[in-house]
Structure 1
Amino acid sequence: MKENNLINLIFSFIFLIKIIKSESPPKWEWEPPALLEMPEDSSVDLHCPARGRPSPIIRWSFNAIPFYELSDDYNRRIQLNEGRLLRINYLQRDLDTGLYQCNATNIGGYLASSTYLNVLAFAPRFRHSSQRVWKVLRDSSVDLNCDVEAAPIAEVHWVDANDTNILPVPGKLEIFSNNTLRLHSLSSSDDGFYYCNVSNKYGLNRAMNRLEVFIPTFFAEIPQPSRITLDANSPNSDNLELRCKAISDNRLSIDYIWTKNGRPILNKNDENKIEIITEEDGTSILRLKHLSGHHTGRLECSAVTEVDVKSAAIDLFVRDVPERPELMRVDCSSGRHALLVWKKPSININGLPLTAFIVEARTEQNSENWEKVFEEYLGGEEETATGPRILHKTAIPLRPWANYTFRLIAINSHGSSQPSQPMPSPLECSSPPDVPFQNPLGVIAAGNEPDNLIISWQPLPRDRWNAPGLRYLVRYRRLDLKDGDWNEFIVEDPSANQTIIREQPTFRPYHVQVRAINSLGFSVLEPPIVEGWSGEDVPTESPKNLHLAEHHNYSFVTIEWEHLENSSIRGHFRGYRVNLYLF
Structure 2
Amino acid sequence: SRTDPALATLKIGNSVLSLDSPARLFRSPVPRIKWRKLDGPQSSKWIGSEPLLQIQQAGFEDEGTYECEAENAKGRDTHQGRIIIHAQPDWLDVISDTEADIGSDLRWSCVASGKPRPTVRWLRDGQPLTSQNRIEVSGGELRFSKLVLEDSGMYQCVAENKHGTVYASAELTVQALAPDFRLNPVKRLIPAARSGKVIIPCQPRAAPKATVLWTKGTELLVNSSRVTITADGTLILQNISKSDEGKYTCFAENFMGKANSTGILSVRDATKITLAPSSADINVGENLTLQCHASHDPTMDLTFTWSLDDFPIDFDKSEGHYRRASAKEAIGDLSISNAQLRHSGRYTCTAQTVVDSASESATLTVRGPPGPPGGVVVRDIGDTSVQLSWSRGFDNHSPIARYLIEARTLLSNQWKQMRTNPVNIEGNAETAQVVNLIPWMDYEFRVLASNILGIGEPSLPSSKIRTKEAAPTVAPSGLGGGGGAPNELIITWTPTLRDYQHGEGFGYIVSFRRKGSQAWLRARVPHAESLHFVYRNESIAPYTPFEVKIRAYNRKGEGPESLTAIVYSAEEEPKAAPYRVIAKSVLSSEMDVSWEPVEQGEMTGVLLGYEIRYWKDGDKEEAADRVRTAGLVTSAHVTGLNPNTDYHVSVRAYNRAGTGPPSPATNVTTTRPPPKRPPGNISWTFSGSTVSIKWDPVVAKADESAVTGYKMLYRQDSHSAPTLYLASKSQIDIPIPEDFTHAFVQIRVTGPGGDGTPAEVHILRNSGTSMMVEDSGMRPAPHVVVVTTNSLLMVALISSLEL
TM-score by length of 2: 0.38
Point out which structure has higher relative CO (alpha carbons under 8 A, 6+ apart).
Answer: 1
Structure with bigger helix share is 1
State the structure with more CA Rg. 2
TM-score by length of 1: 0.50
